[in-house]
Structure 1
């Protein structure tokens, strides 16, 4: 099973501000992101899940929360920790699972990722949530596509032998 992180990240690492994006909407980025995750389960924290309630991404939502809870969305289930999430994804028979945030969720799953697909939003923005830093020695930039207000970058974890 492949574990992939997807995020929009400003030049200064900001990904959010008080539960919202700190930059004006970028329709091209939202469209590519929605297409990418549409047929796959996604992992997200409770606050991120709640911020997306009107338009839930993915085929199933694994909502990571410290407290056990149920959700009124038929496709959403509570998960507990990284291992619990990965076990649930295996039971779901998922070939790929996308990690959608927020900041603490990205940091928790960072050591387990196979790929990162990051939209680098041009500019620096104020915010309270950041994408975690990573060791450049462990990652290789495989693809980069420039758009009007962002660059889409795909990073792949390198094996220790490379």
Structure 2
């Protein structure tokens, strides 16, 4: 099963200048818990924005740069090759960035979306997904507090 996991605001903003425009520690914990033990596919820029490969996951990096490599990462040059590696397990996750999400959405079976009820300035977006193609199967409100200052919810969609 190919899943995608992302947080986005009300306008589907996911990033600005290579970073997330918000800080939600509980969402980062949710991401870690949800993807741990699974394969994850990301673009090179997303990989480079992290401090190395994510632990307890098979890190697959999609890049056009045939000379690029990194210890702890499996490098692929075609989306289909990365998706094939994700499909080897029971569930694999596409984790970004914007271009990778856009290319992979048509192949995804499930979406894990943290919807942040705010509007942020951004330059990177999650692709549009509609109720015609996706059914909301779970919706859990996140806890707004000192460390997590926004209203947000964890949504899971399955392709209809």
Shared fold, TM over 0.5: yes
Partner of 1:69: 67
Partner of 1:101: 96
Q: How many residue pairs were aligned?
A: 153
Contact 1:69 1:78 in 2 (8 A): no
Provide the C-alpha distance between the structure 2 equivalents of 1:85 and 1:72, rounded to a whole number of angstroms.
Answer: 16
Partner of 2:75: 78
Partner of 2:86: 89
Provide the C-alpha distance between the structure 2 equivalents of 1:57 and 1:135, rounded to a whole number of angstroms.
Answer: 33
Give the number of the structure whose residues are more often helix, by fraction.
Answer: 1
Could you state the TM-score of these two structures normalised by the residue count of structure 2? 0.89
Shift of 1:72: 3.0
Contact 1:142 1:154 in 2 (8 A): yes
Shift of 1:54: 4.3
1:39 aligns with 2:37: yes
Partner of 1:156: 158
Could you state the TM-score of these two structures normalised by the residue count of structure 1? 0.88
> Counterparts of 1:12-27 in structure 2 under 5 Å?
12-23=11-22, 25-27=23-25
Q: Which runs of 5+ in 1 are unaligned?
A: none
Contact 1:48 1:101 in 2 (8 A): yes
Q: Which runs of 5+ in 2 are unaligned?
A: 145-149
Among 110, 115, 123, the residue aligned to 2:110: 115
